[in-house]
Structure 1
């Protein structure tokens, strides 16, 4: 059989996290440290790999009430030896190395992370009315790798002191945790918080300080594996 399709063969390498292609992550497990991944994100694997449900230890990673966990991150633990391939509805993937920096992200855009990274749910004033970034913001810190998803190739905007950067709240994926964040409506329409399908702009986020803001070229939330009743 001959076809250009057959050119998309498995890439090799010992790196723990690597991109098989722009929409698929390759994770090399060595039998030691576990990798945490979005539940249901495994599309293929080789070797002796186990996938188990994961919950944050009390007072440990994923700080906050245990009942908040499904809203924050629905994770599985990948252990064993072998290679795991992860993806979520062909989203574009981005590998970040955290070196004790603090990064705030919308939880719906997290695909995988090292088990050495910790997080806590953080609130944005007035954000509880917004279906996206306002209700699912996590501050991540530690040393390790984090894999984020975006709808298309993102834009990284540099923020400098005394200079505001603005972005649509539905397009923001994450930002440096040290930034000052303000949420403001761009419409007097009381339905602006459900603005998709309307002719007006809704909520935007204003950032100032020193750091970066990650924005995707889409005003839609990241597609989810399965909607969970009662959480949306």
Structure 2
């Protein structure tokens, strides 16, 4: 059999984490180094790999009910190679160091099992809930694979350069940054997203570090259901339809 498809054959690498292509991650397991991956993200594997779909990160059951910030993970263990992807989103590898990284858990594809995770609350003078309110802090030393809807923008934050990002477009940022949620709306109703402009809640960053932004304010639908209606178009949460709160 002959086909141009064979140009997409497996890429060879000695690295533990390797991008098979911009939208697929390859992880090599040696039997003593488990990796935690987004539930259902496995698209292929080779060798003797076990998947434990019941793994809960520390504090999840206690915190997720109150905050809505969850990280649905499976533990991948054994010897071989596993390929991970999610709805053809772009995959990016990040080395976590002592500064740590704060991320919306929706954008985590995989991470080293040795890393520590905990929920943190973003300062909000309005006390709202939703995108940007609660986030996941990742600390320790290891790698994290993040996902974005399209090629992202990495913005540098310095004491001289303040950065503001739409709360629906932010993916991750340096943990040491000072963050505040705000909305510069002049509408009398705070639930109306910045009047008729279509813009809404922002995260304001100050300090020294980075902010990772994706070129989309709406995630691809998660757990979409067949048929018409909100569940078919936006997934089982029905959130963020037409870039507004529901």
TM-score category of the 2 structures, normalised to the smaller one: 0.7 to 0.9
Matching of residues 70-81 of structure 1 within 5 Å: 71-81=69-79
Deviation at residue 15 of structure 1 after TM alignment: 1.2
Match of 2:59 in 1: 64
Residue 159 of structure 1 contacts residue 209 of structure 1 at CA under 8 Å; is this kept in 2? yes
Between 125-134 and 213-222, the greater mean CA deviation after superposition: 125-134
TM-score after normalising by structure 1: 0.86
Deviation at residue 2 of structure 1 after TM alignment: 2.8
Deviations for 1:23-78, whole angstroms, at most 9, x for unmatched residues?
Answer: 0000101011110000000000011100002434xxxxx44353435842000000
Residue 55 of structure 2 contacts residue 75 of structure 2 at CA under 8 Å; is this kept in 1? no
For residues 40 and 194 of structure 1, the distance between their equivalents in structure 2, rounded to whole angstroms, comes to 35
Out of 198, 203, 214, the residue aligned to residue 201 of structure 2 is 203
Inter-CA distance 34–93: structure 2 relative to 1 (3 Å threshold): same
Residue 97 of structure 1 contacts residue 144 of structure 1 at CA under 8 Å; is this kept in 2? yes
Between 159-168 and 76-85, the greater mean CA deviation after superposition: 159-168
Match of 1:84 in 2: 82
Q: Secondary structure at the match of 1:66?
A: helix
Structure 1: gaps of 5 or more residues: 57-61
TM-score after normalising by structure 2: 0.82
Match of 1:59 in 2: none
Match of 2:10 in 1: 10
Residue 223 of structure 2 contacts residue 236 of structure 2 at CA under 8 Å; is this kept in 1? no
Out of 88, 91, 94, the residue aligned to residue 92 of structure 2 is 94
**Alignment root-mean-square deviation, CA:** 2.6
Deviation at residue 129 of structure 1 after TM alignment: 3.2
Structure 2: gaps of 5 or more residues: 225-234, 240-245
More relative contact order in 1 or in 2 (CA 8 Å, sep 6+)? Answer: 1
Between 109-118 and 181-190, the greater mean CA deviation after superposition: 181-190
Out of 210, 213, 233, the residue aligned to residue 212 of structure 1 is 210
